[in-house]
Structure formats: C-alpha cells, structure tokens
Structure 1
Amino acid sequence: MLLRSLNPLAVARGDDVPDAVTIDGVTLSRSDLVGAAGALARRIAGARTVAVLAEPTATTVVAVVACLFAGVAVVPVPADAGPAERAHILADSAAQAWLGTAPAGDTVGRELPVVPVRLHARDWHAHPEPDPASTAFVIYTSGTTGAPKGVLLSRRAVAAGLDALAEAWQWTEKDTLVHGLPLFHVHGLILGLLGPLRIGSRLIHTGRPTPAAYASARGSMYFGVPTVWSRIAEDERSARALSGARLLVSGSAPLPVPVFERLAALTGLRPVERYGMSETMITLSTRADGERRPGWVGVPVTGVSTRIVGEDGAPVPHDGETIGALQVRGPMLFDGYLNRPDATAESRTDDGWFVTGDVAAVDASGFHRIVGRASTDLIKSGGYRIGAGEVETALLGHGEVAEVAVVGVPDDDLGQRVVAYVVARAGTSPTPDELIGYVASELSVHKRPREIRLVESLPRNAMGKVQKRRLS
C-alpha cells in the first residue's frame, strides 16, 4: 500500500494519530484523512486523471489521498500558474475534473466540472489496491526550454523513492516533519506530504516557509530550499530554535557554503543536502549517519547507480575535480514524458541510463558535487571547462555578497567569458575589480569572472531556483 500509515483496516483497529497533518490552521487525524479521502475516492472511482489546485490546504491533502486510494492520476496545478501555463497543463494531461476548487479570475479550466472535497464526509470501505505500475502523478516541469512537460511517476516509483529516503535519513513514525513548500513539485508534495503518510510521521505545513513559522513548529525534521535556509540563517533567534531538531534537509538548488556553515554554527546541526529531479525524485543524498560536506550532495540512495561521463562518453576520474555529465539509474525514475515519446527517448542512453542534463564531479569515496545544468552552468572559456557553481560558491564567501548567479556569455576571443550577477549585502558596495580579484585568489585564475554585474535581485521560480535564462 502506497500510504501505509493510512491503511483503513489499521485505522479501524484504533491505530490513529490525532494530529497526523496540520495545514492552513486545520489539523487532520489519520481517521479524518481515511474517512474523508475514502468518501471522495468512491465518487471519483473510474476517472483517469484529475487536476488539483495545489494550494497548501487540507482540501488539497484530502484530494491527493483520495486519488491514491482510487488509483486516479493526480495533476497538481500551481496556484499561481498563468492562464497559458494552466491551459497547457489541462489540455496536455486531459484532466477530467478539478478536485476541490477551480482557479478564480479567468475562464481557463472553468469548463471542467468541479468535484467538491468535503472534509467532514466519511466512508470506511477498503479500496482495491491499484496496480503498482499505474501512474500516480503527472508533474509538470518548469518549462525552461519550452512548454512544460508532464513527468509520469508511477506508484511503484514513488514508494521506492520514499523508502530509500527513509533509510538514508533514518526517518521513522517518531518524527515530525515541518515545511512550508509548494505542493505541486516533488519536494513539497511527494517528499513533504506523501513521505509522512507512507512512513507514519506527523506533518506540520507552515503555509509559508518563514523563519518564525519554522521556529515555532518544534519539529524533528525540516525541509527547505536554499532561500528558506538563507533567511533562517540570518535570523539568529529562529535558527537557534531549530537546535532541538534531528535533521535540516536542503534541496531543489545548491545550498551556499556560507549558509551551510552559519546554520551549523547556530543550530549545531550540519544540514543534509540531496539531489534529485521531477524525473528521478531523490537519487543522491548525504546520510543521517554519515558525513555532511558543504557543497556536496552525498552518495546514491538505495537502489540507485550513477555515472559521470566526459564529452567522449567515457567515465571521468573519481577525483572530486573533473566534471562531466551526470547519468542515473534506479527504481524511482519516471516512466516518461506524457505525449512526448521524442523527449522520452532523448532523455535515456542506449544502455538505459537517464541523462539528467546536470554536470557533476565525484570523489574516490563516491561523494558527488553538482556543478549545475549543462545548458547554463558548464562554461567553456579559453579552452577550460568551468563550473558556474564553483565560481558562485567562491563569490558567496565574500562578506559583501548576498546572492550570485554565474553564466557564460559568448565571447569572440574566449568562446565564452565568465560573467557574475551579484546582489550585494545591505549597506555594502563591493566593486567589480574587488570581487574579480577575490575569486582569482580563491580559485584558479582562469575561473575568475571577466565581468561583474551588480543587480538588485536575481530572477527565481517558485522553488527558489535562479532562472539564469532570464539574465542578460
């Protein structure tokens, strides 16, 4: 059973938890979830695919659980999606209805029927277990290189991914997970909602991931993206309130080393960093019982294999420095892109490895370091291959740099020149020459930025990732 802690028979025997999920001011017990989701599952039985407006509410939680009970594929739709994006998602997925509520404000998607979610409805009938190979979620990518693609995640893949994390993080029913992440991506929805429901731990969703909300939740595990952790690290009182936790987990983008080190100093906890994608869920992670090295995302989780290859297709040396294209295999990988056999075929090698599109290095102990996207973070300058992430990490070590994004810009002489977009800390005014010289003193001289562009802010998506394609 995918949601093991919500087994109706176990709950009927009295295996209840009165505060299984707390979200948007509502607390749901296990029996609340089973009863309300069971009633909705009977109403949607036989449907193929439904859309859920992924707001952080109890309605969203019940809607997702009901679909998993009934074996209906869920299409989580971002609450802030624009009309064009929403129209594409609904048409591409062939969603048959909205569960809960439909978006207000425009007509896109309004033609679909709306099936209400009644939090106080109850139905205790057991539901036949769906085929493990059936699609549980159609999660749409961010669409940085075209229209968003629907990632098909099976029930079997979701279960394998969560079980691997439970082992790596020693995640048990005794934990209380706290986060305030969006519920339309793998991080917040599958890890952050289904993880607790499979493992049996409690979940507190804070609505928004503010330092104060995290500090007041008193959990044992916390999930956040680097932007969240950066804000917490700057709020000493809130950071120290997390010192009673067991794990601080960071993902969806690289955690700057200075943020890692400040969190460790304030909380006494070295953050767990991990790596994954919508297509793969989490494939690499540092472990609860292992080394946690700033700037590195650890080792393959159970069932996962990785390889890093150079431009000639041969594996790169495991020296922690040589970078190449990261490829992965494992039981938690997706089944393909919906309606895109071409993209599905292009994403895999002839011998069955998934091509992540990311550039990485691995050391002799199997620890991985992600440099960034091959399309934006691998810079070829003057005959050298330079990882943008390495330059960004160096710049973040400068006391007057708050945020940075490094890109390669076409250059007639070098092929590409390294350009850094820098947000200075409040009250400071670093000069470009000062920052260029700083990087040259920290790294090889050829890795220094040839140009520094001081900006007020960096463009980011809902998950906190910098959108480098919008930098110019």
Structure 2
Amino acid sequence: MNTVIKSFSNMEVSCRAARILNRLLRKPIGVTSYRNITGTAVKEDVNTELLTVFNRDIKDGGVVPVFRRALLFPTRVALQDELGIYTYAGLHQAATVLAQEIAAQLVGETEKTIAYMCNNDASHVIVQWAIWMTGNIAVPLTPLHPPDMLKYYLTDSTSSLVICTQEYEKVLRPITLEMHKPLLITGRDKELTAQLYQPNSAFFKPKADDNLTDFGRTNSWYGNNDALIIYTSGTTSKPKGVIWSHSMLQTQISSLHSAWQYSANDVVLHTLPLHHIHGQLNSLNASLAAGARLRMLPSFVSHSVWSRLLGMGERDETKVTVFHGVPAMYARLVADHERMFADSKTKEYVRTTLASRMRLMCAGSAPLPATLFLKWEEISGMRLLERFGMSEVGMALSNPYKPAEARAVGCVGLPLPGVAARVASVREDTGEIEPVVTVETPLPETQICLDRLGLSSKDFFVESENFEWKEPKVTIHKEVSDGVYQGELLIKGPAVFSRYLNRVPKLDESDFTKDGWFRTGDTAAYQDGKFKILGRTSIDIIKTGGYKVSALQVESAILDHPSIADVAILGVEDENYGEIISAVVVIKDEAKLTLQELKESAGKKLAPYQLPKTMLIVDQMPRNAMGKLDKKEIRKVFGKQLLLKKK
C-alpha cells in the first residue's frame, strides 16, 4: 500500500512540475500575437517557417496531418485532462516515442490497420498521432462494446496490431490471445513525457523539401493514403467500416473551420465518445488543427460539464468557449439545471455567463426536439447550432454560424463548404432514382492561414475567397406546386467517403448512384432554402393508409406534452393500413397519461393520419453510445407488446 501511495505522490508531483515547466520554459521563435477571449494581448510561439512549406505541399495535392500542424504552434497548450496540461510539442514528442515502438513492432510496415483503446484523454491523441506517424491506419475501439463485438471489429479491420493503455489490458488481453494478435500496452509514461517535454531550437527548424521535422511520412504521401476507420452504429445492419483518407479528413477540417470559424482562441470542452466521427472530427481533430485548447473529460457527467461550462474559479485562458454535444446530453443538462440552479438570481447568473462567454454550442447525431432547442435558449441565451452528419460523410449540412437568429428549429440548414446535397425521388416499381433538387456549395480553402486562426500575421496571410462559407447554387430538376422538395437525401463531394472496408463499392445499388452520389438512407425535405431530415427511410418513414409519415415529426410533436420524458414512434404491420403508428413512451415521475390525452395534445400540430393508434408506456428505452434511440433494439424488446396493444 505504501508503494502505491508513494507512486501516486510521485505522479502528482510530476504533474505539478510539468505544469510549472510548461509556463516557464517557453522559447520564442516567429512570435505573433493574438487576443484571448478577455481581449488581453498574449504572446505565443508560432513556427511560421514551416507554414510556407505546408501550404506549398497542400497546393501540390498533399495533406498536412493534424500531428504535423502541431509543429506550427509547439508551445501552445493543446490539451488539458484530469491528469495534466500538455503542449502541442509535448504531445508530438510523446507520439514520436510511441511511433518508434510501433514501427519496431511492425518491422517498418505501413498502410496496416491498428486498433486501439484509450480513455478520453491525452493518451488517445498520443496513440492516434503515433499510428499516423508510422503511416498506418487508426481504428478506435471503445470498452462500451462487449467482447464479441470487439472480436468482430478486430476481424473485420484485419488489424495487424492492437494498442491500449494499461487500464484496458484486462479487456483486450484475452481477446488478442484468442485471436493471435499482438497487443502493445502503452503506459502513463507517455503522458508524463508529453507534460515534461520542452522543445529546443532544433525542433523548430524545417528541413529541405519533404524531409520534415518529425517521424512521419511526407505530406505528399499522406495526400494519397488512408487515415482512419470509423464503424457505423449498425442500427439497420451489421456495422461497416468507413474508410477515411487523410485528404478527406483535411477537407472536412477546412470545411468546418470556414463554416464554424474555429480559431486558436477556442477552448473546447470534449465529452464525446471517440469511436464516432462526431467526437473524432468536430471536437478533437478540427480543434487541434486550429491550435485550440481541448478540455477533455473521461465521459459526459452532467454536473462536471456544468462546472466546466461556468468555469468558476478558473483562469480566463482555460474557460470553455465551445461545446459539441448530442441532444441527450443537452436534455440531461436541462434536467439538472432545474435541480442545481433553483433560485432566479442563480439562473440569471448561469444565463448571463453562458451567453457572454460561449462562442458556439452544437447539437447533432440525433434529432434535436424543438422543445429542447427552445428550453436551452431560455436557460443559456444560446441558440444551438444543429447540423447533420454521418460516419460516411462527416459533417454535411449545417445551420448558419452567423447570424444565430437564422438557425431554424427542426432544420439542419444547408450544405457545408465543398458539399453537394440532392433530394431524389425513388420509383417504387423500378427503383430508378430521379433528382428533384440539388444544392451545392463551393470547395473550402485547405491552405492554412494564421489570420483565420486568430494568429494574425500579414506576412503569412493566405489570399482566398474560399475561407468564407458561400451561398450555395440551387438547381431545381422537378418543379413542385407546394415548394416542398421531398425524397431520399444524396450527398457528394471530396469530403465524402469512397468505400467501406472489405466491400467493393457498387454503383446504382444501395450505396451509390450510377453518377457517384452517396445514398444516405435518410428521407429529407428542402423548403424555404433549408433542409429538414424526416428520418431513416427504412425505420422512420411509416407508410400508413396511403400516407408517408415522418416518425421524427410525430416524436417532436409528442415531446411537447408536459408528461412525456421520451418517445419512440414505430410502424407496426397492419393488414388494413399497411402499418399503423405506435408510440413507445416514457412518462415523467408521478405523471399519468392516456392515449386519448396524447392524441388530443399532439393533434394540435399533427394531421389525424399522423397520430398514434396505440401507445405503450415503459420505464426506459435503449439508446446507442451517441444517445440516439436504438429503434432496432426498441422493436426487439417491445415488439410483442406493441402487437398485443394493436389487438
């Protein structure tokens, strides 16, 4: 026991020492200045020498991976987790050490898949960067998945190596032994290296041509190779591995930087799971590529998030300004707001603090109910920015960043820079796909501009009109009388994936059209210059009595009822109607509700054919890791009861 206490004490002292060193041992080079959120001028080190090399490579078709962008601002704080504070140089150095171990394990082989399991902290960034440095493909895993699912991912991805931190050795050791796969355990020493490391002058000097200052491959190499495999949630079929290239990742990052105006001044609170693209792209990589500061929590815990959002007792440079969440997170924050901040003065303080400090709060990965959108605006003074994305397309559609007043309830806005979105009709008899309307936005500028990142320097300003999110071009293929263009949502562009792992892309089938549009499987409507997602075509579009009903629209209306805590709308087979609309609901504590009361309330917003014909009250409903209702599981669990209700 004394040994354990002594080890913990040593670690605590080391972490304190690291924080002191990070503050005191900075060496200036290519200094530029910027203003933090308080308006105070701050001196920062930015490696401007490398910028010219990087932008030249990007213009020539190369990619500058996120770990290499870290060389631009080595002494900036990149990340703060529960164990310490890390500079960009520190993370880079720790990743370089691990990359050498990986290269030795694989005998220098590249383009292999490497699966890894880490906490939501600095270890995840270090391992991911190390995999990329060695020219290999990262496959993030989560301990939330049972052993059989982990075996599936390792088998399907044909992983040549598995990496984990010490706490997950017990999870992965039996699996890797059974599958005869090598397991590399990375310890806390890597994070400690990242905290203690301070660059010397040699770190900053770029070498000639493509032989850059780190362990990685050339930028031109990254422009032609894969980076990441993200597995789909598998709600409608077995999870599929979506292959993300470095080029796709760079385009997505540039698109988000243009649309949502990421900057080095951002302090981003990260609580999202990192085996999904939402956490990987929006919170993690797009932020680090901007030179921002990440505040990483191990998981989403409402009271901890409230503490970070309010930033009481913290220095200005550590106070959160950006938060990416899913609707279930905001629902939990709203519920705890009522409990934690009871009196009117405290509520006003919370609202004033968030409205004045937060730059951006995003919601996605599941439908955002109108009631939740409006309630969050009431308690925070912030209008949530809702967007639409998928593992296959990253972020595709978004409400505007400015003006915030233009963010429409229940809509997901317009295509992000470099994205084309199309609504198409699908003939039920032949399956032929016909375009109805196409909305396309110009490509984003992928070159790195210090000025755009809030690190102003006229000598390194990139002249380009494409840093702005421009008005899209709209093409009407088929006129409609009511102005509502509805059908299957198709997406196209350089930020869209090209193939699933181990599956040959087939044109004119379920994945892609003949002319290369990705079929999302969602039904959408384009009206008044905005897109609205009506739901998964296979799950959320219910064909009843000759009508097509959006389950999401019905759910949104039902959630307005004061007794409803949660709802899932399902179509249940019926010999007369084809399908009937059934509601599975969770009601609030001590509340009571009848089907007739529900229909009377929802009937104020819905047509009679959209109203549920049956209702089942349950204690809770299954959700996936991103907080999205798992309707496949809901149907499996409650299907028999719904059939009995119908009778």
CA distance in 2, matches of 1:411, 1:7: 57
1:229 matched to 2:298? The reply is no
CA distance in 2, matches of 1:377, 1:204: 36
Larger radius of gyration: 2
Q: 1:112 maps to which residue?
A: 181
1:452 matched to 2:615? The reply is yes
CA distance in 2, matches of 1:299, 1:31: 37
> Does the C-alpha gap of structure 1 residues 321 and 419 become closer, same or farther in structure 2, counting only changes over 3 Å?
farther
Equivalent of 2:368 in 233, 237, 255:
255
1:292 matched to 2:407? The reply is yes
Amino acid at match of 1:198: A
> Does the C-alpha gap of structure 1 residues 89 and 165 become closer, same or farther in structure 2, counting only changes over 3 Å?
same
SS in 1 for 2:490: strand
SS in 2 for 1:104: helix
Question: Which 5+ residue runs of structure 1 have no aligned equivalent?
Answer: none
Equivalent of 1:93 in 157, 177, 183:
157
Q: 2:301 maps to which residue?
A: 210
Give the CA deviation at 1:446.
Answer: 1.0
Q: 2:75 maps to which residue?
A: 16
CA distance in 1, matches of 2:592, 2:93: 58
1:35 matched to 2:93? The reply is yes
Amino acid at match of 1:104: K
Give the CA deviation at 1:232.
Answer: 1.1
- RMSD of aligned residue pairs (Cα, Å): 2.1
> Does the C-alpha gap of structure 1 residues 143 and 9 become closer, same or farther in structure 2, counting only changes over 3 Å?
closer
Asked if the contact 2:485–2:527 (Cα under 8 Å) also holds between the matched residues in 1, the reply is no
Amino acid at match of 1:456: D
Give the CA deviation at 1:157.
Answer: 0.5
CA distance in 2, matches of 1:211, 1:264: 18
CA distance in 2, matches of 1:320, 1:464: 33
> Does the C-alpha gap of structure 1 residues 20 and 409 become closer, same or farther in structure 2, counting only changes over 3 Å?
same
Amino acid at match of 1:299: L
CA distance in 2, matches of 1:2, 1:22: 24
SS in 2 for 1:56: coil
Asked if the contact 1:337–1:343 (Cα under 8 Å) also holds between the matched residues in 2, the reply is no
- Once the two structures are aligned, what percentage of the paired residues are identical? 32
> Does the C-alpha gap of structure 1 residues 90 and 269 become closer, same or farther in structure 2, counting only changes over 3 Å?
same
Equivalent of 1:278 in 369, 372, 391:
391
Amino acid at match of 1:88: Y
Asked if the contact 1:24–1:56 (Cα under 8 Å) also holds between the matched residues in 2, the reply is no
Which string of whole-angstrom CA distances, capped at 9 and with x for unpartnered residues, describes residues 243-294 of structure 1? Answer: 3211110011011111100111111110000101000000001121141111
Asked if the contact 1:391–1:448 (Cα under 8 Å) also holds between the matched residues in 2, the reply is yes
Asked if the contact 2:545–2:578 (Cα under 8 Å) also holds between the matched residues in 1, the reply is yes
> Does the C-alpha gap of structure 1 residues 262 and 334 become closer, same or farther in structure 2, counting only changes over 3 Å?
same
1:196 matched to 2:287? The reply is yes
Aligned residues: 467
Give the CA deviation at 1:4.
Answer: 4.9
Amino acid at match of 1:300: P
1:346 matched to 2:346? The reply is no
> Does the C-alpha gap of structure 1 residues 322 and 384 become closer, same or farther in structure 2, counting only changes over 3 Å?
farther
1:266 matched to 2:338? The reply is no
Question: Which 5+ residue runs of structure 2 have no aligned equivalent?
Answer: 1-62, 104-108, 204-212, 309-318, 342-346, 428-432, 438-478, 640-647
SS in 1 for 2:223: coil
Q: 2:555 maps to which residue?
A: 392
**Larger displacement relative to structure 2 (311-320 or 84-93):** 311-320
Q: 1:242 maps to which residue?
A: 354
Give the CA deviation at 1:42.
Answer: 2.8
Structure number with the higher helix fraction is: 2
SS in 2 for 1:62: helix
State TM-score, norm by structure 1.
Answer: 0.93
Give the CA deviation at 1:336.
Answer: 0.7
Asked if the contact 2:119–2:298 (Cα under 8 Å) also holds between the matched residues in 1, the reply is no
CA distance in 2, matches of 1:9, 1:245: 28
Asked if the contact 2:499–2:505 (Cα under 8 Å) also holds between the matched residues in 1, the reply is no
Give the CA deviation at 1:214.
Answer: 2.1
CA distance in 1, matches of 2:169, 2:192: 23
> Does the C-alpha gap of structure 1 residues 57 and 161 become closer, same or farther in structure 2, counting only changes over 3 Å?
same
> Does the C-alpha gap of structure 1 residues 386 and 197 become closer, same or farther in structure 2, counting only changes over 3 Å?
same
State TM-score, norm by structure 2.
Answer: 0.69
CA distance in 1, matches of 2:562, 2:70: 55
